[in-house]
């Protein structure tokens, strides 16, 4: 780090930590021992005191191309100087169309249309609203029920919280949306522990949709939303055959299937979208995070052509869908998105993730047998590692590892309770994979 970088980093260290209420954070613990990052490049963060910290979490599952990549930085800078903002309702700007076409080209089948938003949460709520409105404009207004899944994470809007299935994210927020039901989650440690990739056991759990459909009558169900790999709950890959089975049941009853690919989109599982990995075409795909490699907030919903077409009728001067955000398709996000997609293509980063998957899984499985390791679930460039909880202190071991990783081992990772999640930028090298798992092994022993 140069002297100039060091002094500018020092100037960014705050002297008052009180005002900022950090999201999804143990605020009091953080403020006693802050984990502050002042700069980043490629695979590394840098702290104010000049430590290089390897990023084993791709930010938060988002910086798939690595941090502060020059072409993305330059694109954002150019765009900021050229067009800061263009209204998104009744006006637009060329890069919004260009990015939508590029994303649609990456998506399977006739997922041809893109509705832009600013986050994964907005993408989910948008997809749920499009599902309801789609049935409505086709004269099936009785289809109002939305089906999520236990342990699912779909962001923090009321729609996403309602279909989500992580108890801690729901319990303080009242009754939420009416008419929501949940599929069972797909995890069973006895049947699935230490599986690389998709577990053999669990496809039959999709049949629970039959039961739910029978209970409510299928004609009242608008959509089913699932993550192809449940990420935030601690990495639960879909069992083999589960997603095709869900697709078949949705088809049978005219229910829309939404894949929430906010994490799995843009290379995380070795494909542009996980839909391609599983050979299943959903009716909508939600995305965010990797679309700009985390550099500017952006999300969106990919929509199949017949859904879009269903709205394109009535008087031509009329708004077809009464929904959108001030910053939908923001010029800076579009510029960042285009530069990011170029990088993914030019550096073949999705293919790289696929090629590294086996080595990644082997390295992760090297932790098997360490004290308290109950399960290891690698898939794509992701792994979830379950640790035994301390009696009466659930989550403490995970928290300690996350905190020590940053302060002592110069690494960031995610901890969900006592499950560790690693999910590095797709530019990670084999040597860096080795380094990450060595550090995790050391940390697991340290908190045993
Ligand atoms: C599958 C999924 N959906 C939605 C979201 C919410 O995204 P955001 O935090 O950008 O609102 C996330 C975030 O992790 C996610 O993993």
Query: Can you name the residues that pair with 113 across neighbouring β-strands?
Result: 303
3 state SS of 107: coil
- Choose one of 153, 233, 238, 287 to mutate for the ligand 1 pocket test, by most ligand atoms within 8 angstroms of C-beta: 153
- Per the CB < 8 A criterion, the answer to whether 104 and 112 are in contact is yes
Q: Is the CB of 148 under 6 A from ligand 1?
A: no
Q: Is the CB of 124 under 6 A from ligand 1?
A: yes
Q: Is the CB of 263 under 6 A from ligand 1?
A: yes
pTM: 0.97
Cβ partners under 8 Å of residue 190, min gap 6:
none
Q: Is the CB of 118 under 6 A from ligand 1?
A: no
- CA–centroid distance, 327 to ligand 1, in Å, is 18
Please state whether beta strands 284-287 and 299-304 pair in parallel, antiparallel, or not at all (unpaired).
Answer: antiparallel
- CA–centroid distance, 214 to ligand 1, in Å, is 30
How deeply is 387 buried, as exposed, middle or buried, from its count of CB atoms within 10 A (0-12, 13-18, 19+)? buried
- CA–centroid distance, 119 to ligand 1, in Å, is 7
Residue 445 vs residues 142, 288, 369, 407, 448: alpha-carbon distances, Å? 55, 35, 11, 16, 5
pLDDT (tens digit per residue) in 210-235: 999 999 999 999 999 999 999 999 99
pLDDT at 395: 97
**Phi–psi pair at 197, nearest 5 degrees:** 75, -150
Ligand 1: atom nearest CA of 155 is 6
pLDDT at 13: 72
* Dist. CA 104–CA 119, nearest whole Å: 18
If you write DSSP's letter for every residue of 390-443 in order, what string do you get? BTTBTTHHHHHHHHHHHHTS-EE-EEETTEEEE---TT--HHHHHHHHHHHHHH
Mark the ranges of the chain whose per-residue pLDDT is less than 70. Answer: 1-12
Ligand 1: atom nearest CA of 288 is 10
pLDDT (tens digit per residue) in 351-387: 999 999 999 999 999 999 999 999 999 999 999 999 9
The secondary structure of residue 67, as a DSSP letter, is: B
Residue 76 vs residues 48, 82, 219, 333, 349: alpha-carbon distances, Å? 25, 10, 46, 8, 21
Q: Is the CB of 153 under 6 A from ligand 1?
A: yes
- CA–centroid distance, 343 to ligand 1, in Å, is 23
Calculate the dihedral angle through the C-alpha atoms of 267, 379, 357, 404, rounding to the nearest 10 degrees: 90
pLDDT (tens digit per residue) in 40-50: 999 999 999 99
């Amino acid at each position: 780090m140069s002297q100039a970088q060091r002094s500018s980093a020092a100037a960014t260290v705050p002297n008052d930590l009180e005002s900022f209420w950090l999201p999804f954070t143990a605020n009091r613990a953080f403020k006693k021992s802050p984990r502050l990052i002042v700069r980043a490049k490629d695979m590394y963060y840098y702290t104010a005191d000049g430590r290089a910290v390897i990023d084993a979490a791709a930010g938060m599952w988002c910086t798939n191309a690595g941090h502060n990549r020059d072409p993305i930085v330059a694109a954002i800078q150019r765009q900021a100087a050229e067009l800061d903002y263009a209204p998104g309702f009744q006006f637009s700007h060329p890069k919004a169309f260009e990015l939508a076409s590029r994303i649609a080209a990456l998506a399977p089948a006739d997922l041809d249309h893109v509705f832009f938003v600013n986050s994964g949460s907005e993408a989910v709520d948008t997809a749920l609203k499009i599902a309801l409105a789609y049935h409505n404009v086709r004269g099936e207004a009785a289809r109002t029920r939305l089906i999520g899944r236990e342990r699912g994470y779909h962001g923090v809007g009321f729609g996403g919280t309602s279909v989500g299935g992580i108890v801690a994210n729901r319990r303080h927020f009242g009754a939420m949306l009416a008419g929501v039901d949940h599929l069972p989650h797909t995890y069973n440690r006895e049947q699935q522990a230490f599986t690389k990739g998709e577990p053999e056991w669990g496809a039959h759990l999709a049949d629970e949709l039959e039961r739910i459909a029978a209970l409510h009558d299928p004609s009242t169900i608008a959509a089913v939303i699932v993550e192809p790999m449940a990420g935030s709950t601690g990495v639960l890959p879909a069992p083999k055959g589960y997603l095709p089975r869900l697709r078949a049941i949705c088809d049978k009853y005219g229910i829309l299937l939404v894949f929430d690919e906010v994490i799995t989109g843009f290379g995380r599982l070795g494909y542009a979208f996980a839909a391609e990995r599983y050979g299943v075409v959903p009716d909508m795909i939600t995305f965010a995070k990797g679309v700009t490699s985390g550099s500017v907030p952006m999300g969106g919903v990919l929509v199949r052509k017949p859904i879009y077409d269903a709205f394109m009728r009535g008087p031509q001067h009329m708004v077809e869908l009464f929904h959108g955000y001030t910053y939908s398709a923001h010029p800076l996000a579009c510029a960042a998105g285009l530069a990011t997609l170029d990088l993914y293509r030019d550096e073949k980063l999705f293919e790289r993730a696929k090629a590294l998957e086996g080595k990644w899984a082997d390295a992760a499985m090297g932790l098997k047998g360490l004290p308290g390791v109950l399960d290891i679930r690698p898939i794509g460039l992701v792994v979830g590692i379950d640790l035994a909880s301390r009696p009466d202190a659930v989550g403490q071991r995970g928290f300690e590892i996350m905190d020590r990783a940053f302060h002592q081992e110069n690494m960031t990772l995610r901890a969900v309770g006592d499950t560790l999640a690693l999910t590095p930028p797709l530019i990670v090298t084999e040597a860096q994979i080795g380094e990450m798992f060595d550090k995790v092994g050391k940390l697991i022993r340290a908190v045993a």
